[in-house]
Structure 1
Amino acid sequence: MLLHPPVEPMLAQARERLPGAGALAGGLGFEPKFDGHRAILFTPAGAGEPVLLQSRRGALIQRNFPDLVAAARQLPPGLVLDGELVVWTEGRLSFEALQRRAVAGSRAVPALAVEMPAHFIAFDVLQTGEVLLGRAYSERRAMLEALFTDHGLAPPWTLCPMSLDPTVAQGWMESWTEVQGVEGCVIKGLAQPYTPGRRGWVKVRRRHTIEAVIGAVTGSLQRPQLLVLGRYDTGGRLRAVGRTTVLKPEAARQLAGHLEQAAPGHPWTGVRFTAAWGSRELLDALLVVPELVAEIAADTSIDKGGAYRHPLRFIRLRLDVTPADVPLFGEGARPADG
């Protein structure tokens, strides 16, 4: 039976550094990690069927990407590709432009498709008229490369680079991640089948920034002033890691439409938060549902308990990831001297 949406994508677990050469029997493949939205593309298997584009969470989003739907006419029937949606503007990958396209109303979609055309970076093939989930990654990769060669695929279709050489991957971590929109590496076992919903891959981001879960805010849900952030520990407990500096008006507006006040039973019920590391001044914090992930900039000053000594700087809201994608509390952290 052929695949139909929703198909759960295979996922990756976050790690702080690249695995060693002997980390997985059968060898490893390394791919650069692009800063976009995960998507699965389905071409029609029969006459009259539509092109479908599925988000990571299972929603059908082809309405917002008519440019990709039109370009899919050059793809063979019954094809299912896994990859990353990105938007390239002004010589760089723009996550902000992609977010704008993803949430645009129907009237704005046609103009945005022209102004901000989307690209699909394919890194796996799940079906080519037959389901390939049980095939090894190395086989699927060879079939994906053959697809691009045999059909002469060109933008908006892009074949994700892949290398078997860990030194090449290290080079990506040191140089490619200086390019906005390329944020690290994904590591896959060459012998691995594609297992939907399983975190069988590994992803490593170069840590100019980190992610954390929003557990509380000051101010109000409509006008948040700063965020109190946390990470889950190995026991499933949400542990506070720090607070942000005062949010800029644009950031506060971005967050306002997504924050939701927590119901009784929040992990931080009864907890009091101080205004700064080592301070006795308490924050008047409002607990929120801990389902949103923030990308933040942080220095290396971490206390022995795993919390950041200095205020964190909010960069953006990551609607494309979940708390399960955030590294665990204390993972990769080194306490500051003194």
Structure 2
Amino acid sequence: MVLLPPVEPMLAQAAEAVPGPGVLRDPAYEQKFDGHRAILFTLAEPGGRVLLQTRRGSLVQDRFPDVVAAAAEQLPAGLVLDGELLVWDPEAGQLSFEGLQRRSAARSRSAATLAARLPAYYVVFDILQQDGTELLSLPYRERRRRLEVLFAARSLTAPWTLCPMTTDVAKAREWLENWTDVSGVEGLVVKAMGQRYVTGARAWTKVRRRDTTEAVIGAVTGTLTRPQLLVLGRHDEAGRLRAVGRTVPLRPEQARQVAEHLAPADPGHPWMGVKFAAAWGSRDILDAILVRPDLVAESSADRAIDRGGVFRHPLRFSRLRLDVTVEDVPGFGAGPTAAAG
């Protein structure tokens, strides 16, 4: 059977720690990049086209003409690859999720201009079809071998990158600790070497690096006596309190701890009239209550942070830091940097 879009990608479920050989039989560890999942097709039909499919099944090849041109020139027909789209921002000198968002939303007329300014890259971690033959039933070990042969035989370079992989759990843990300091690398994906590719199944494991960090509580949802989640902020260079994210819902004991110290906002709160999105990129609005911004929350955060310093995923509240002041909190844009003490 020849694979054609839409193809449901195989997915991963989250875990807190890196599973070793005692938990997963014959594991392999890949670096997890903070991009957009995409399946690439090089069709074998006459005048074969290149298609790029998102995780949800939309076709977006018109928004990435640089990747399409490179695929048409460098890749054989009848190929289906699974990977991650990334974008490089030359001015910032790093990978840019915001640039990727702009590329993904571009109309075809502006796509070429954006491609020149914000070039795209494709990190390949799986091969689903080769020479028109579907490979889903092959074990990951064999699919990975074929990917490595493809990259070597074609001498593939940018915009193509073969996702780094290791079977050494110690090396994987080192990647999680050190490589995630690099912009665009957020953790690991763990697979079994004997595992076949099951479309739509959440059968891989993802482990994101999480860091302890501090921020100011500027608003809550729920009530002052029973807060449900916290809206967090940091001060910018001008001294303005800027929203940087929200927490996951508080556990009952956490809500009681926070409620003991909350105070209603004084007149002139810096967020007066501000609306807060329920999630990063969402149009849904939180029903938030402003509070006096003098409490510091310690939370854990992953590495998904936009260039402006906003956490894209909810933080996990750990405790109040009654031993530090808001002046001790990292500034807006500092990322997941812990405060002193």
Instruction: Check whether the contact 1:12–1:203 (CA below 8 A) recurs between aligned residues.
Output: yes
Say if 1:96 and 1:293 are closer, same or farther in 2 by CA, change over 3 A: closer
> Deviation of residue 208 (structure 1)?
2.7
Report the secondary structure of 1:42's partner residue: strand
Match of 1:98 among 87, 97, 100: 100
User: Are positions 1:111 and 2:107 aligned together?
Assistant: no
User: Are positions 1:161 and 2:170 aligned together?
Assistant: no
Correspondences of 1:248-259 after superposition (within 5 Å): none
Say if 1:227 and 1:29 are closer, same or farther in 2 by CA, change over 3 A: farther
Report the secondary structure of 2:165's partner residue: coil
Deviation beyond 6 Å, 4+ runs, structure 1: 246-252, 282-291, 311-314, 333-338
Residue deviations 1:5-49 (CA, integer Å, cap 9, x gap): 111111111111111221122x01111111111110000121134
> Deviation of residue 171 (structure 1)?
1.1
Correspondences of 1:309-328 after superposition (within 5 Å): 310=297, 315-316=309-310, 318=312
Instruction: Check whether the contact 1:228–1:244 (CA below 8 A) recurs between aligned residues.
Output: no
Report the secondary structure of 2:189's partner residue: strand
Structure-1-length-normalised TM-score: 0.69
Report the secondary structure of 1:139's partner residue: helix
Report the secondary structure of 1:180's partner residue: coil
Say if 1:116 and 1:48 are closer, same or farther in 2 by CA, change over 3 A: same
Say if 1:227 and 1:86 are closer, same or farther in 2 by CA, change over 3 A: farther
Instruction: Check whether the contact 2:220–2:228 (CA below 8 A) recurs between aligned residues.
Output: no
Instruction: Check whether the contact 1:226–1:246 (CA below 8 A) recurs between aligned residues.
Output: no
Give structure 1 stretches of 5+ with no counterpart: 211-224, 230-238, 256-266, 268-272, 295-307
User: Are positions 1:142 and 2:124 aligned together?
Assistant: no
Say if 1:77 and 1:17 are closer, same or farther in 2 by CA, change over 3 A: same
Amino acid aligned to 1:170: R
Instruction: Check whether the contact 1:243–1:311 (CA below 8 A) recurs between aligned residues.
Output: no
Residue deviations 1:203-262 (CA, integer Å, cap 9, x gap): 11111379xxxxxxxxxxxxxx96759xxxxxxxxx94432238989988x99xxxxxxx
**Match in the other structure for 2:181:** 178
Mapped to 2, the partners of 1:11 and 1:277 lie a distance apart of 38
Mapped to 2, the partners of 1:227 and 1:2 lie a distance apart of 52
Amino acid aligned to 1:145: E
Report the secondary structure of 1:148's partner residue: helix
Mapped to 2, the partners of 1:251 and 1:76 lie a distance apart of 49
> Deviation of residue 58 (structure 1)?
1.0
Larger Rg, first or second structure (1 or 2): 2
Report the secondary structure of 2:109's partner residue: coil
Mapped to 2, the partners of 1:103 and 1:179 lie a distance apart of 25
Correspondences of 1:219-258 after superposition (within 5 Å): 228=221, 240-245=228-233
User: Are positions 1:194 and 2:197 aligned together?
Assistant: yes
RMSD of aligned C-alpha atoms?
A: 4.1
Structure-2-length-normalised TM-score: 0.69
